[in-house]
Amino acid sequence: MAAATSNPPATDANSSTQSGPTPNQSGTKQGKAVVPTNHVTTKDGVTVRARIDPTLTVEDVIRQLCLNLKLKDPPAMFSLRDEDDTLVTTENLNKMIKSRANLKLVNSSVIEAADIIEKLSLRDDKNLKMALFSLQKFIKEEQFAHEFLKRGGLKELIDVIYSSHGNTLAYALVAMQHLMELDYGWSDLDEVFIFRVVQILSSAQSLINVCRPATAILKKLVEADPRNATGPTTAGSSRSVPRPPPGSVYVYGFAVVFDQMRKDSRLLETVVNRLGSADTALTLYSMMLINSLLSNADDDRWQEFIDELERLNVRKAVVRLMSSHTIEDLTSSILDFQANMIRVMYRRKTHFVDPARELSHLTALEYIWDASKLTEEQQPDGPYKWRKLGFLTEDISREFADAGVLGLDCLKHFACKDPDYFATVVTEQISRPPERRCPISRASNEIVELLSEHWAIFAPGYSTLTTFQPFFLDYHKVHSLAMQFFLRMWNESGSSVVDFTRIVALTRSQVGVALRRENVRPWHEVEQDFLESDYQAIRERQMKELEEEDDLLSKVPVRNLRAKLYKESYEFVRQQRIHCLTQGAWFVNAIPLTTVNPREGIRRPARPWRFMRLDTGLKYMHYVDCPMKVPIRAGLEDLPERFEISQITEVATGTCASPLHAIRDNDISQHSPLMPSPLSFSLLTTNDGSLADQIAPDVQRWADWTDGLNMLRRDGGHVASGETAGFVQALTEIGLKIKLLDLAGERVEIPSGLIAGPPPPTSDFFFSDLPYDTQI
């Protein structure tokens, strides 16, 4: 029950009271619990003091206030809000009462929605801006959103987006962006609307505050794919496309958006160019849109989209971003981009070269052949063409079976980077006796394998790159350097065909050295390692490495086995990290460094401890803030607050300072700088800043949660901590050694490679089901 009076101090016989056994209980006086008093201001400006029973619903509280204040309007026309205009609900009522928040009795969501819709339809510029400004805030509230949608507000908002510009358009787009955080109500957006957003985003004249929400809207549409309707799935797993239920917003996706992007060729170029924007928020939005497009691209349009990104040098733009960005907000997005590029590389590596069906493959092969300046010959066993470049056969598809289209791309890049050099190298090798020739094309494919192994390009959706890898994003350039190194080692050592595997091993050793500490090494040192290193020194170092390693690990079947175990290890660690989130943990409520105002001093959290737990549906993060650690029961009953995982766009690390020393030390200067904790992390959104700013109790808990949250995100999938990456690598190596021990015990000889036999001449055959122990 709620009691209200305009004569302070307020006392009422109906006020909620509790008796206590001792006068020392918190908030007690003479054995009776004191109910917190809230100030409530009416629409007429009258302020009263009210003692509110926290066991009541908000509807009952409003009804009691209307009764006590003798208001003529029915209670359904009113809502309660705090000073910040946050809607008071049954879920947060208890929190408002305990914090003695100043409340306002204002119009209900029904009245606010009707009023705003009316102002949107009138199109009066002054009232329109005010209505849109209020709409941005109210649309996040479920009660208001329901009334707004029920009364046709979405149509009015879309009409405003069609007809407005400047700040009015920015307000409308932000309101639309906030509306699309709901999982209902916007399933009827048509192609005309999507193309309007594309046009807004691609226009160079668009204001920054217009581009931000437009980018977020397009990103949301890309992610509203029917395949994402069931929530997060195993990275790299294939999913059948379900039929969305009626009213579901998961009816768009990459294909729908990309079809509209095709109509305006400027869009992708504009988005890539904005990666160099001075506005960090716009850069972040653009980076996130590119990542969403990469993560959700479908098979039919994937190649076209990737080719366009490559034409626009998006990787070069991200490399520049690595060296220029100054805040942690972009780190997660850059790591996401690296993980997405691993997917791209893996897909190209596993895509077969088929010049008979793929025109692009045929064109690339023709370019390589023309650049070599060789002539085809006819021999008794058939044409003698590709074997001149070092292939073992004339079957191109078979020769690129392991390196795939990635191998073809790399060989073409090596040829076109310096055509004269390529022709000279080919001519030099062809002039030698066959046994002394360096098989250039085979060497190129082997280097593709070495680089793929170095950067763990094993499977789509699995990445343990925890730091920036600018050299990885310049894969083809590194490949060309390694090719020059391979040729130089071949010539300086006077190698022959039988020495091919030895030079491959030498190159593997040099790749590991040249690409070490990639996130801090300058490019000129990498070039020096590949182009100027001494053969004898490299050979001596390699011999020492061979003493400590087993050459068995470099064989192709073993490398393939490692790739399979790597995927299994990654998925095991991923499930373990997510399990830690569902178990829950205590964290310190941190002080975000971006919010510290030297003039105002340090704003310490009122409750320094927070317990967080992910629900079993992997959709919501539930939490409770406490002044001290208390026992938390299993389940979610003790965790009244929550936020959606889908709201998290960045998991930024090292962003907060611990408040505990500020709480304990009364002499701390309010103007002294706070140091970021290495165990801190912030869960950032595109709309409301940060959802949580926490400090983990130890490194293990920090790695569990930062990586678990990253692996949980639809557009994420990368690993941010060395601890998680180390676990994946350790599990992979342990599993590999166990498998190899089984083979070693049986004394099984592992070949360096397997050559498939010729296919059956006809399809008139079947596989017989023979017993396992049948001897043939």
Regarding whether 535 and 572 lie in a shared domain, the answer is no
Does pLDDT of 162 surpass 90?
yes
Tokens of 49: 């003091």
**Which of residues 256 and 769 earns the better pLDDT score?**
256
How far is the C-alpha of 36 from the C-alpha of 53, rounded, in Å? 9
Look up tokens 């026309």; give the residue. 77
How many angstroms separate the Cα of 653 from the Cα of each of 227, 318, 692, 758? 30, 20, 12, 55
Split at pLDDT 50, 70, 90, the class of 326 is: low
Residues 297 and 406 in one domain: no
User: What is the pLDDT, as a whole number, of residue 12?
Assistant: 39
> DSSP letters of 120-168?
HHH--HHHHHHHHHHHHHHTTSHHHHHHHHHTTHHHHHHHHHHH--HHH
- Both structure tokens of 230: 């069931």
* Four-CA torsion 568, 573, 577, 583, nearest 10 degrees: 90
**Side chain identity at 103, as an amino acid letter?**
L
Q: Using one digit for the tens of pLDDT, what is the confidence trace for 553-596?
A: 656 677 778 778 888 888 888 888 889 999 999 999 888 876 65
C-alpha distances out from residue 672 to 598, 653, 658, 668, 694, Å? 8, 22, 13, 8, 21
Please report which confidence band the pLDDT of residue 356 belongs to, taking 50, 70 and 90 as the band edges.
very high
Which pLDDT belongs to residue 596? 56
For residue 205, name the pLDDT band (cuts at 50, 70, 90): confident
Residue among 672, 684, 693, 474 at smallest CA distance from 592: 693
- The CATH number covering residue 32 comes to 3.10.20.90
Local confidence band at 328 (pLDDT 50, 70, 90 cut-offs):
low
Residue whose tokens read 């397009």: 218
The angle, 0 to 180 degrees and rounded to 10, between the axes of the packed helices 331-349 and 404-417 is: 100
- 308: confidence class by pLDDT, cuts 50, 70, 90: very high
Contacts of residue 723, defined as CB under 8 A and 6 or more positions apart, other chains included, come to 699, 700, 703
CA atoms within 13 A on the CB side of 689: 8
Range of the domain at 19: 2-107
- Between 414 and 738, the more confident residue is 414
The residue ranges of DSSP E strands in 461-607, in sequence order, are 585-589, 591-592
| Confidence category of residue 408, pLDDT binned at 50, 70, 90 | very high
Least confident of 271-280, 306-315, 416-425: 271-280
CA 195 to each of CA 24, 214, 268: distance values in angstroms, whole numbers, following the listed order: 66, 11, 14
Segment 418-425 shows an average pLDDT of 94
Last residue of a domain, one of 520, 549, 578: 549
pLDDT of residue 18 exceeding 50, the answer is no
The amino acid at residue 27 is G
Domain shared by 290 and 146, yes or no: yes
Distance CA 494, CA 155 (A): 76
- Is there a single domain that holds both residue 545 and residue 571? no
* 3-state DSSP assignment of residue 442: helix
Q: Please give the average per-residue pLDDT across 28-50, as a whole number.
A: 72
Residue 351 counted as domain residue: no
Residue 300 CA to residue 298 CA, distance in Å, equals: 6
Residues 571 and 464 both lie in one domain: no
* Higher pLDDT among residues 543 and 224, named by residue: 224
What's 593's domain CATH number? 2.30.29.30
Using pLDDT thresholds of 50, 70 and 90, give the confidence band for residue 627: confident
On whether residue 733 sits in a domain, the answer given is: no
* Gyration radius (Cα) of the chain, Å: 32
410/537 same-domain check: yes
Of 505, 569, 578, 575, whose CA–CA distance to 542 is shortest? Answer: 505
Residue 611 near residue 585 (C-beta atoms within 8 A)? yes
- Of 86, 107, 128, the residue at which a domain comes to its end is 107
What are the residues whose beta carbons fall under 8 Å from the beta carbon of 97, sequence distance 6 or more?
Answer: 36, 38, 52, 54
Q: Looking at residue 117, what is its pLDDT? A: 94
β-bridge mates for residue 644, sequence order: 620
Label residue 68 by pLDDT band (50, 70, 90). confident
pLDDT tens track for 449-471 = 999 988 888 766 566 667 889 99
Work out the number of other CB atoms within 10 angstroms of the CB of residue 487: 18
Task: Write out the two tokens for 599.
Answer: 């003039």
- Phi, psi values for residue 82, rounded to 5°: -90, -170
Confirm whether 378 is domain-assigned: yes
Same domain, 365 and 511: yes
The tokens for 264 are: 């305006």
Query: Cis omega before residue 9 (within 30°)?
Result: yes
* 373 Ramachandran zone, left/alpha/beta (phi>0; psi -120 to 50): left
Task: For residue 394, tell me if it sits in a domain.
Answer: yes
Alpha carbon distance 90, 107 (integer Å) = 17
**Domain count within the chain:** 4
Tell me how crowded residue 533 is: count the other CB atoms within 10 A of its CB. 17
Q: The dihedral of CA 122, 127, 129, 132: what is its sign?
A: negative
Q: Distance between terminal CA atoms of the chain?
A: 87
202-207, long-range: CB within 8 Å, 24+ apart, which pairs?
A: 202/264, 202/266, 202/267, 202/270, 203/270, 204/270, 207/166, 207/167, 207/170
From 595, 601, 603, select the one nearest 671 (Cα to Cα). 601
383 and 482 fall within a common domain: yes
> pLDDT at residue 256 above 60?
yes
For residue 557, give the 3-state DSSP assignment: helix
The reply to whether 532 and 604 lie within a common domain is no
Query: Can you read off the two tokens belonging to residue 672?
Result: 């002294």
Are residue 171 and residue 209 in the same domain, yes or no? yes
Q: Strand, helix or coil at 672?
A: coil
Determine, yes or no, domain membership for 122. Answer: no
537 plus 574 within the same structural domain? no
Report yes or no: 89 and 144 within 8 Å, Cβ to Cβ: no
Token readout for 236 is 């790299």
Tell me the residue length of the chain: 776
- What integer best gives the mean pLDDT of the chain? 82
Give the angle subtended at the CA of 336 by the CAs of 704 and 327, to the nearest 5°.
Answer: 85
In a domain, 238, yes or no: no
103-107 and 37-41: which strand pairing? parallel
The bridge status of strand 641-644 relative to strand 620-626 is antiparallel
What are the Cα distances from residue 337, in Å, to 216, 294, 573? 17, 8, 21
Considering the domain boundaries, does residue 94 fall inside one? yes
Long-range contacts of 719-725 (CB under 8 A, 24+ apart): 719/463, 719/464, 719/465, 719/466, 720/331, 720/332, 720/335, 720/466, 720/651, 720/653, 721/466, 722/466, 723/699, 724/464, 724/466, 724/573, 724/577, 725/464, 725/465, 725/466
> What does the block give as tokens for 730?
């350790």
Q: pLDDT at residue 638 above 60?
A: yes
Reported as a pLDDT band with limits 50, 70 and 90, residue 551 is low
298 and 398 housed in the same domain: no
For residues 522 and 559, the model is more confident at: 522
Most confident of 2-11, 314-323, 662-671: 314-323
Tell me if 330 is assigned to some domain.
no
Residues 480 and 364: their CA atoms lie apart, in Å, by 17
The first and second tokens of residue 154, run together, are 């979405």
SS3 659: coil
Helix axis angle for 419-430 and 404-417, nearest 10°, is: 100
Strand ranges (DSSP E) for 615-736? 620-626, 641-644, 650-653, 656-657, 680-684, 690-695
The residues that bridge with 624 in the sheet, in sequence order, are 611
- Residue 26: burial class (beta carbons within 10 Å; 0-12, 13-18, 19+): exposed
What local confidence, expressed as pLDDT, does residue 299 receive? Answer: 87
Token readout for 99 is 């914090």
135 pLDDT tier (thresholds 50, 70, 90): very high
Which of 282, 301, 325 marks a domain boundary?
A: 325
5: buried, middle or exposed (CB in 10 Å: 19+, 13-18, 0-12)? middle
3-state secondary structure of 40: strand
